[in-house]
Amino acid sequence: MCIKNKNICVDVKGLKKSFEDHNGNKIVVLEELDFVAKAGEITIIMGPSGCGKSTLLNILSTIDNSFDDGSVYVMDTNIKNLNESQKADFRNKHIGFIFQSHELISEFNVLENCAIPLKLKGLKKDEAYAEAIKLLNLFNIPDINHKKLPRELSGGQQQRVGIIRAMINRPNIIFADEPTGNLDRLSRDIVNEELKRLIKPTKHNPNGIALVIVTHDDIYKKDDFSHSVYEFQEKDISSDTIRYKLVHVR
Amino acid sequence: MRFLTPFLIFFNLFKRTLFITFILVFITFVMITLIPIVINSYNYTLEKSLATKQPHIVVKFVDDKTAYSKKQQQKLESTIKTFIGTNKIDTINSFVESTTMVKFKSYGYNLSEYAGYTTIIGLSTYSYPIVYNFDDFTPVMLSEYGFKLTGIEMFDKFRTTKDTVFFNTTLYKSIYPLVTHEARFDLEVNSFGLVQSNVDFLGIVDDFFDKPILYMNINSLNKLLNLPVDHISGFMINIVDQKDLVLIKNQIKSYFDKQNIAVEVVTWREINKKQNDILNIFTQIGILLKIIILVLSTIAVTVYLYKSILVKQPNLRLLNILGLRLISIVNSVISSVILSAVVCAVYITHIVANTNIPKILKEDFSIDIGFYIYDVTVAYIFLVGVVVLIINNMFKQKYNIFK
């Protein structure tokens, strides 16, 4: 899917995003921002709190397409032109999400949580569950846990379930927000190994997945883990706000 | 399949909420059905007990001198019965009303005299035993017979004879006259009696608080009052079903109007304003309670749904991020509502068409099924509107899933 433009899955040029505060003043959060994420690569976005990482992630993942200026192409699609329903379909088809606090649906069991994207895609329940079970076994989640509610699993297991849910639809891009932020060292290592496995080319995804990770953790900067690193750096400090720019570090 | 998926996910996510909402709605239905049944049953019992203590419809000739022969009386009664419908009329009795003087004799005392307005009931000569001649009762006998007559007991005793009617002016002055006005005999002074030697079948009951009631044979009565033998003041009519009260009153009025006989026709509820007001108040309370329950229940369900949707908001957002269309969520809500409305409509149609429940509710408990269809629909539309507004508003709010 990402072959058309040198495997580029996400292509952002000159992005500008601003908000109005409660006094009606305009606050620029993102400005002249360029960003690229390629298939089969892990791209890291780093930066301090409040620099605009979440805002950027919302835009890249098509949750928010109301930016002021610039262009955002995801899978060669200008996301600005998508309406709410198209965005939902687009996310279901092309994008997977991994969240810091797992964000599993507490009312659904592990199997149901994993199968949701496939069900939303239109697959039959049996097909969706079969695929989910295959991945759960691949990620070493024992059968006994499949019918359990998410809260009955350990943090590491919950995050693995989150990863399965993110990849079960065979997306082209996965956005991960502090994927190991809430995990202990052992669980973090396991999850990181799983993340590295994610991007590898498969039958369904010959170019591999583009994995975009937003993190504070410097270990992701290492060459052996990531292919590309972007960092929000301070641009200028005005009287009451600090402005950041996104710099392509590597 | 894809069309059903959002609905199934929505149902799965909100199954607990939907179950509790169903229970709340069910309790509301039970309450707005049971409370009117209880109130209406009480009202019905009260109405019946009040009605059995007095004539239901009083037809009074404006010309007090009206005199009918026995034959004429019987013919008139028969005509009225036929005109109204024999199955709707329980009893028709003539009565005489006059201002008179009744003398009492208290044993051991001098003759005392009571003068006042007394309604006198004429009793059929064929009725036996209708009138007690209290002079015949000794205190021992009274005790032996447990002769502590309440009005109801007396009435029931006398009602076994169809052409007997009691007319008590005091009934018009209190709500429960015959229950509280127990027939009282002063055992110490032996007995009450009416000093009249030239009439037969006499009886008198001191109704404790108010004026005495005199019961005697109508012919004896006429003799006592020096009236023509067949003089009557009017008719007292007891009907079978109180629901026909106004209808029958109007029919009787129109009948006498056609005959050019000037009459005054009044129902017991018109005469007894207090009783009527009390019965109306109970009816109003029933309606008020239904409305209060419905409004409170609607508010409770709305608040509960609001809270539930608020609690599930992150999950709904998450599902939207994973690919569930917003419109599907709203559609699921509307579909659920339409589906349950259709189920209710089918069920109500089935009940109306195949059972006599609506008829029983309406006729025996004065509950109109239309009430449910109209008022519950209004409450339902209100609920749906609120839920759709909540969801719509929820997605307009900024919600950041990335920490």
The confidence score (pLDDT) of residue B193 equals 34
Contact B323 A99 (CB under 8 A): no
More confident residue, A10 or B42: A10
Instruction: Name the residue among B178, B237, B205, B201 with its Cα closest to residue B127.
Output: B201
Confidence label for B250 from pLDDT (cuts 50, 70 and 90): very high
The confidence score (pLDDT) of residue B194 equals 34
The confidence score (pLDDT) of residue A240 equals 65
For the segment A131-158, the average pLDDT, to the nearest whole number, is 87
The confidence score (pLDDT) of residue B150 equals 27
Copy the structure tokens of residue A96.
């997977």
A57 touches chain B (CB under 8 A): yes
Q: Tell me, what DSSP letter sits at residue B195?
A: -
A112 touches chain B (CB under 8 A): yes
Q: Quick check: is A233 in a domain?
A: yes
Q: Quick check: is A2 in a domain?
A: no
For the segment B230-259, the average pLDDT, to the nearest whole number, is 85
Percent of chain B with pLDDT over 70: 56
Distances (CA, A) of A59 to A127, B26, B293: 32, 46, 49
Helices (H) and strands (E) in chain B, counts: 14, 7
Judging by beta carbons within 10 Å of its beta carbon (0-12, 13-18, 19+), is residue A176 exposed, middle or buried? buried
Is the pLDDT confidence value at B233 over 80? Answer: no
Q: Quick check: is A3 in a domain?
A: no
Is the pLDDT confidence value at B210 over 60? Answer: no
Confidence label for B249 from pLDDT (cuts 50, 70 and 90): very high
> Domain tally for chain A?
1
- Pairing of the two strands A173-177 and A242-248: unpaired
Please give the backbone phi and psi of residue A188, each rounded to the nearest 5 degrees, phi first.
-60, -45
Taking only the tens place, the pLDDT of each residue in A82-126 is 888 888 888 998 898 888 777 888 888 999 999 999 988 888 888
CA atoms within 13 A on the CB side of A221: 10
CA-CA-CA-CA torsion sign (B232, B234, B238, B239): positive
B401 touches chain A (CB under 8 A): yes
Q: What pTM, to 2 d.p., does this model score?
A: 0.62
Full residue range of the structural domain in which residue A189 is found: 8-248
Sequence ranges of the domains in chain B: 4-45+278-396, 55-271
Say how many residues make up chain B: 403
Is the pLDDT confidence value at B344 over 80? Answer: no
Highest mean pLDDT among B56-65, B71-80, B241-250: B241-250
More confident residue, B227 or B333: B333
Taking only the tens place, the pLDDT of each residue in A15-42 is 888 888 778 788 888 888 889 988 888 8
For the segment A208-213, the average pLDDT, to the nearest whole number, is 88
Copy the structure tokens of residue A230.
């972007």
Distances (CA, A) of B27 to B32, B283, B348, B350, B391: 9, 22, 17, 21, 26
Contact B402 A121 (CB under 8 A): no
Specify which residues A77 forms β-bridges with.
A74
Taking only the tens place, the pLDDT of each residue in B304-340 is 888 888 888 888 888 888 888 877 777 777 777 777 7
Shortest CA distance from A63: residue in chain B: B321
Contact A88 B318 (CB under 8 A): no
Contact A122 B400 (CB under 8 A): no
Q: Quick check: is A1 in a domain?
A: no
More confident residue, B87 or B376: B87
CATH of residue A243? 3.40.50.300
B323 touches chain A (CB under 8 A): yes
Is the pLDDT confidence value at A163 over 70? Answer: yes
Taking only the tens place, the pLDDT of each residue in B354-364 is 777 767 766 66
Is the pLDDT confidence value at B75 over 70? Answer: yes
Cis peptide before B129 (omega within 30 of 0): yes
Percent of chain A with pLDDT over 90: 6
More confident residue, B348 or A125: A125
Highest mean pLDDT among A45-49, A127-131, A141-145: A127-131
A108 touches chain B (CB under 8 A): yes
Contact A120 B13 (CB under 8 A): no
Is the pLDDT confidence value at B132 over 60? Answer: no
The confidence score (pLDDT) of residue B161 equals 36
Token match 């360029």: residue? A34
The confidence score (pLDDT) of residue B66 equals 61
For the segment B260-275, the average pLDDT, to the nearest whole number, is 85
Confidence label for A129 from pLDDT (cuts 50, 70 and 90): very high
Is the pLDDT confidence value at B176 over 70? Answer: no
d(CA A155, CA A96): 20
Interface probe with B: pick from A61, A97, A119, A170, most Cβ of B within 10 Å: A119
The confidence score (pLDDT) of residue B81 equals 85
Confidence label for A247 from pLDDT (cuts 50, 70 and 90): confident
Which residues in chain A belong to E strands, given as ranges? 8-20, 26-38, 42-46, 69-74, 77-78, 95-98, 173-177, 210-215, 228-237, 242-248
Please say whether the beta carbons of B104 and B114 come within 8 A.
yes
The confidence score (pLDDT) of residue B265 equals 92
Is the pLDDT confidence value at A205 over 70? Answer: yes
B2 CA: distance to closest CA in chain A (Å): 5
Is the pLDDT confidence value at A202 over 60? Answer: yes
Contact A85 B326 (CB under 8 A): yes
ipTM: 0.85
